[in-house]
Structure 1
Amino acid sequence: MNSPKSVLQVAIVGGGIAGVALALDLHRHQHLDVQLFEAAPAFGEVGAGVSFGANAVRAIEGLGIGKPYEQIADRTAQPWQDIWFEWRRGVDAGYLGASIAEGVGQSSVHRADFLDALASQLPEGIAVFGKRAVSVDETGDRVSVQFTDGTHHQCDLLIAADGIKSSIRDYVLQGLGQPLVAPRFSGTCAYRGMIDSSQLRDAYRAAGVDEHLINVPQMYLGLDAHILTFPVKQGRLINVVAFVSDRTDANPVWPADKPWVKNTTQAEMLEAFSEWGDAVRVLLECIPNPTLWALHELDELSGYVHGRVGLIGDAAHAMLPHQGAGAGQGLEDAWLLARLLADPRVLQRDAKQVLEVYDAIRRPRACRVQRTSWEAGELYEFRDAKVADQEPLLSTTLASRFDWLWNHDMQADLAEAHTRLGWAQAV
Structure 2
Amino acid sequence: MQSKSPLRIAIVGGGIAGVALALDLCRHAHLQVQLFESAAAFGEVGAGVSFGANAVRAIAGLGLGEPYRQIADQTPAPWQDVWFEWRRGVDAGYLSASVAPGVGQSSVHRADFLDALASRLPDGIACFGKRAVQVTQQAERLQIRFSDGTEHECDLLIGADGIKSSIRDHVLQGLGQPPAAPQFSGTCAYRGLIDSEILRGAYRERGLDEHLIDVPQMYLGLDAHILTFPVKHGRLINVVAFTTDRSRPDPQWPADQPWVRQASQAEMLDAFSGWSEAAQVLLECIPTPSLWALHDLAELPGYVHGRVALIGDAAHAMLPHQGAGAGQGLEDAWLLARLLGDPQLLDAEVPLMLAAYDAVRRPRACQVQRTSRQAGELYELRDPATAADQARLGQTLAQRFDWLWNHDLAADLQQARRRLGWLQTA
Q: TM-score, normalised by structure 2?
A: 0.99
Give SS of 1:143's match.
strand
2:136 matched residue in structure 1: 137
Q: Distance in 1 between matches of 2:215 and 2:4?
A: 53
Equivalent-residue separation in structure 2 for 1:389 and 1:288 (angstroms): 35
Residues in 2 aligned to 1:410 and 1:266: alpha-carbon distance in whole angstroms: 43
Q: Distance between the aligned counterparts of 2:268 and 2:12, measured in 1?
A: 37
Q: Deviations over 1:208-247 (max 9, x none)?
A: 1110000100000000000000000010000000000000
2-structure distance, mates of 1:200, 1:4: 59
Secondary structure of 1:346's counterpart equals: coil
Residue 172 of structure 2 is matched in structure 1 by 173
2:357 matched residue in structure 1? 358
Whole-angstrom distance in 2 between the partners of 1:67 and 1:24: 14
Give the superposition deviation at 1:113. 0.1
| Aligned-residue RMSD, C-alpha | 0.9
Contact persistence 1:10–1:35 (CA under 8 A): yes
SS in 2 for 1:118: helix
Aligned to 1:237: 236
Query: Which residue is equivalent to 1:410?
Result: 409
Give the 5 Å matches for 1:392-403. Answer: 392-403=391-402
8 Å CA contact retained: 1:6, 1:347: no
How big is each residue's C-alpha offset from its partner over 1:357-379, in whole Å with a ceiling of 9 and x where there is no partner? 00000000000000000000000
Residue 6 of structure 1, CA deviation: 3.5
Asked if 2 retains the 8 angstrom alpha-carbon contact of 1:18 and 1:334, the reply is yes
- The answer to whether residue 218 in structure 2 is matched with residue 216 in structure 1 is no
1:73–1:107 CA contact under 8 A, matched in 2: yes
Specify every segment of 5 or more residues in structure 2 that has no aligned partner in the other structure, as ranges.
none
In 2, distance between residues paired with 1:421 and 1:407? 25
After superposition, the C-alpha distances for 1:19-67 in whole angstroms (9 at most, x for unaligned) are 0000000000000000000000000001000000000000000000111
Matches within 5 A, 1:103-122: 103-122=102-121
For the 8 Å contact 2:17–2:329, the answer to whether it is kept is yes
**Which residue is equivalent to 1:251?**
250
2:106 maps to amino acid: S
**Structure 2: how far apart are the matches of 1:305 and 1:10?**
15
Q: Matched residues in 2 for 1:389 and 1:411: separation?
A: 40
Cα pair 1:226 1:380 within 8 Å, conserved? yes
Deviation at 1:350, TM superposition (A): 1.6
Task: Give identity over the alignment, percent.
Answer: 74
Q: Which residue of 1 aligns with 2:34?
A: 35
Give the 3-state SS of the residue equivalent to 1:322 in structure 2: helix
Contact map agreement 2:58 2:331 (CA 8 A) in 1: yes
Per-residue deviation, 1:348: 5.8
C-alpha separation in 1, matches of 2:310 and 2:182: 15
2:227 partner amino acid: L
SS for the counterpart of 2:275 is coil
State the Cα distance separating 1:5 from its structure 2 match.
3.0
2:192 and 2:298 map into 1 onto residues whose CA distance is 28
| Gap runs ≥5 in structure 1 | none
Supply the AA of the counterpart residue of 1:162.
Answer: D
- Corresponding letter in the other structure for 1:359: D
TM-score after normalising by structure 1: 0.99
The structural deviation recorded for 1:282 is: 0.3
CA distance in 2 between counterparts of 1:387 and 1:182 reads: 32
Which residues in structure 2 correspond to 1:276-425 (within 5 Å)?
A: 276-347=275-346, 349-425=348-424
1:344 counterpart SS class: coil
- Verify the 8 A CA contact 1:418 1:426 in the aligned structure 2: no
Q: Is the 8 A contact 1:5 1:347 kept in 2?
A: no
